[in-house]
Structure 1
């Protein structure tokens, strides 16, 4: 029997390929984890998050059908959840704000998953704090875009221009 390396850890699995999801679930269960899911879509992952259950970690595929998993990752990081991508995506295809998330190439094996979670524990504080900060800035950016639309709608071009300057400042910060 596998060593109970992740005993009582609640791990969300977001994967749209059944066979891969099942293999990840088996690996985590053998290591003592409590698996949440697996869920195959962004909508189902968000619904699971809306339930408010404790989640310690997540292993996520980037491509879920026609959607990307990034909205789920943003919510998880904002809650301080450690995340790992299990994907076939090339690192160059991952947006810069997610580059620090551990990435396992498919097909993943059990020891890679367990090893990645152990490695994350070493750098968790720095990475999660930075990524959560970026997620909050992206939310603020979206709010500012809404306010720009409102300012344009009430014919306040100067206000819209000032708000747009704030959006540009956020974009520049996120790019660096």
Structure 2
């Protein structure tokens, strides 16, 4: 068996070409990964994400029939999942929002998939951390607004004023 570079890593494969999907699945399984899917459509991928569960990485084709995979990529990135695009699309066809996502051009060599996922492990942490920080700050902001209402209702104007300052600081940070 191949060296277990990805032992116990849960990798979602989204690919609508059966032969390509099977080849990617075989490659990942030989490397020790637990393959989720492959799924051939955006709808099936979203349903899989709705079920929850841990996903460490994803290998995604951009074109799935007449749909693009980008809504799935957005959800995966929001969850902190490392993504690799395996596609026939030219880099110029990939929206700039996804320019930092690793991209492999089809036909993809088996070793390239594993290499790309390992590189993503090393480089994605900064971007994922920024996404997680942004999400956490938005959640904190919403919580502070609720607390401002409670402070106002309890006739605690000083507390409400301090909470407003915290919301303003978050707003300033998020604008940068």
Q: What is the TM-score with the length of structure 1 in the denominator?
A: 0.73
C-alpha displacement of 1:133: 7.9
Q: 3-state SS of the aligned residue for 2:116?
A: helix
Answer whether contact 1:77 1:132 (CA < 8 A) is retained: no
Cα deviations by residue, 1:106-137 (Å, 9 ceiling, x for unpaired): 111111011101111221122334567899xx
Aligned to 2:155: none
Aligned to 1:17: 17
Extract unaligned runs of 5+ from structure 1. Answer: 136-172
What is the CA RMSD across the aligned residues, in angstroms?
Answer: 1.9
1:104 aligns with 2:104: yes
Aligned to 1:56: 56
Extract unaligned runs of 5+ from structure 2. Answer: 136-174
Aligned to 1:119: 119
Greater shift, 122-131 or 88-97, is seen at 122-131
In the TM superposition, 1:143-162 aligns within 5 A as none
Q: Compared with structure 1, are the counterparts of its residues 91 and 134 closer, same or farther at alpha carbon in structure 2 (3 Å cutoff)?
A: farther
In the TM superposition, 1:1-176 aligns within 5 A as 1-130=1-130
Aligned to 1:159: none
Cα deviations by residue, 1:39-85 (Å, 9 ceiling, x for unpaired): 00000000000110110000000000000000000000000000000
Answer whether contact 1:97 1:131 (CA < 8 A) is retained: no
Q: Compared with structure 1, are the counterparts of its residues 93 and 130 closer, same or farther at alpha carbon in structure 2 (3 Å cutoff)?
A: farther
Q: How many residue pairs get matched?
A: 137
Aligned to 1:142: none
Greater shift, 126-135 or 29-38, is seen at 126-135
Q: Compared with structure 1, are the counterparts of its residues 132 and 96 closer, same or farther at alpha carbon in structure 2 (3 Å cutoff)?
A: farther
Q: Compared with structure 1, are the counterparts of its residues 16 and 101 closer, same or farther at alpha carbon in structure 2 (3 Å cutoff)?
A: same
